[in-house]
Amino acid sequence: MSRKPIIAGNWKMHLLKSEAKELFEGIKNYVKDYTAKELPTVVIAPVFTSLAAVETVACDCGCGGNKINIAGQNCHWESSGAYTGEVSVEMLKDAGCSYVIIGHSERRQYFSETDEMINKKAKAILAGGLIPIICCGETLEQREAGVTDSWIAGQIKAALEGISSADVAKSVIAYEPIWAIGTGKTCDSDEANRVIAMIRSVVKEVAGAEAADAIRILYGGSVKPSTIEEQMSKSDIDGALIGGASLKADSFNEIIDKTMKLTLAAK
């Protein structure tokens, strides 16, 4: 089956409202020349305080698709309550989000997010009709110790625990080796593809062949305009979750452009 590629920008804790608006306008200006069918699924994840500065851009060709989709960078699994500093799925939906990034290594590392919390968040996101982008990845120490595959398989099994195959099929996974995030050290694309194929086999084991075939699995970690073509040419890499290079319209648009042209050429 052919899976529609996803190019997602994780803006992390960057950009004030006016800067977010400017970046959004720069991306909007690029996508206006294409239909949602031609474009990869484009997702941007601003900080919560900038969600009002961006918006979903619907396609004007009548296809019902979106040219730009919005994601939250985190959420709580409860719908409301006394959880100071947290935001619920319904609140993100209300702010225009259709995706939510969960389990990013920065949240696991600095905010003690556990596999169990990530599983609860994934379930809440899917129950609310949004799509989770579930992050996983190993440290350099784990890679050097040869435990990459077992570590990631464990993260994925825990994140997907108790989720129906139909919901797994809709979900997105991002493989982000921690040592490649923000370091300029991209994971070799054959190796990234190997790990992503391994993740797909884990999805097959827990949710069946159909879900494994449908789920989109992204690579993240120092993705740049100069790396995207090789990454996207690999069989199991369905797109990218981009940090640094998503903060400038030029580089993010170039990544979208190269992905789109490769996809169109493959048809």
Chain positions contacting ligand 13P, by CB under 6 A: 10, 104, 176, 181-182, 220-223, 241-245
DSSP 8-class letter at 131:
E
Looking at beta carbons only, is 104 or 216 nearer to ligand 13P? 104
Looking at beta carbons only, is 36 or 247 nearer to ligand 13P? 247
Q: Can you tell me whether residue 164 is helix, strand or coil?
A: coil
Residue nearest to ligand 13P (CB): 243
Instruction: Judge whether 176 counts as a catalytic residue.
Output: yes
φ, ψ of residue 119 to 5 degrees: the values are: -65, -45
The nearest distance, CB 1 to ligand 13P, in angstroms, is 26
Query: Is the Cβ–Cβ distance between 250 and 17 less than 8 Å?
Result: no
Residue in 58, 59, 134, 130 with CA at minimum distance from that of residue 97: 130
Q: Which of 106, 138, 176, 229 is catalytic?
A: 176
The nearest distance, CB 245 to ligand 13P, in angstroms, is 6
Q: Which of 104, 106, 113, 138 is catalytic?
A: 104
The nearest distance, CB 20 to ligand 13P, in angstroms, is 17
Instruction: Judge whether 104 counts as a catalytic residue.
Output: yes
Looking at beta carbons only, is 208 or 244 nearer to ligand 13P? 244
The nearest distance, CB 239 to ligand 13P, in angstroms, is 12
What's the one-letter identity of residue 89?
V
The nearest distance, CB 180 to ligand 13P, in angstroms, is 6
Token look-up 């799509």 returns: 131
CA angle 155, 161, 163 (to 5 degrees): 125
Specify the long-range contacts of residues 246-249, CB closer than 8 Å, at least 24 apart: 246/8, 246/9, 246/10, 246/11, 246/44, 247/9, 247/11, 247/14, 247/15, 247/23, 248/23, 249/23, 249/25, 249/26, 249/27, 249/29, 249/30
Looking at beta carbons only, is 98 or 165 nearer to ligand 13P? 98
DSSP 8-class letter at 130:
-
Looking at beta carbons only, is 7 or 223 nearer to ligand 13P? 223
What are the start-end ranges of the E strands in 90-221? 97-102, 131-136, 172-175, 216-220
The residues carrying an active-site annotation are 104, 176
